[in-house]
Amino acid sequence: MNDIIETSKNFIEFGVEEKFGDDLPLYTEHWANQRIKKNIQAKIICTKGFPAPKWKMNKIKFVPKEYQSPATTLIYGNKVAIFIQEEPILIILIESKKLTQSYTSYFNLLWKIAKK
């Protein structure tokens, strides 16, 4: 999450279930404020029925539950971060231009079918 702030890259995200904000509320609030200062925009796809993150600078759409992902996937720059919501939380960060292009294409497909 700090890497997004340091790189000042806009990001896209899907599979969001607002668990991160619940687990680390103070850090999440600080992180959101840093995003505002650096004008870091986000497009986020949430699963219908789950609460959406209420941060400024987000464009949010929803997909039906059948498109729900078991992990939150965040794409920015040439990086893909996968957050697996288990105990303990597992985070995988992959730096790959090809992978970010592939995940971005998948995100764009979901974005087209997602509803506001």
**Mean pLDDT for each consecutive 10-residue tract of the chain (116 residues)?**
93 78 74 93 90 83 85 95 86 96 96 93
Q: What is the pLDDT of residue 8?
A: 94
- How long is the chain? 116
d(CA 25, CA 11): 20
pLDDT of residue 107: 95
pTM (2 decimals)?
A: 0.87
Judge whether 67 and 47 are in contact, CB under 8 Å.
yes
Can you tell me whether residue 114 is helix, strand or coil? coil
Provide the β-strand partners of residue 84.
71, 90
- Predicted pLDDT of residue 66: 84
Please tell me the predicted confidence (pLDDT) of residue 27: 83
3-class secondary structure, 74: strand
pLDDT recorded at residue 38: 95
In order of start, what are the domains of the chain with their CATH numbers? 2-113 (3.30.870.10)
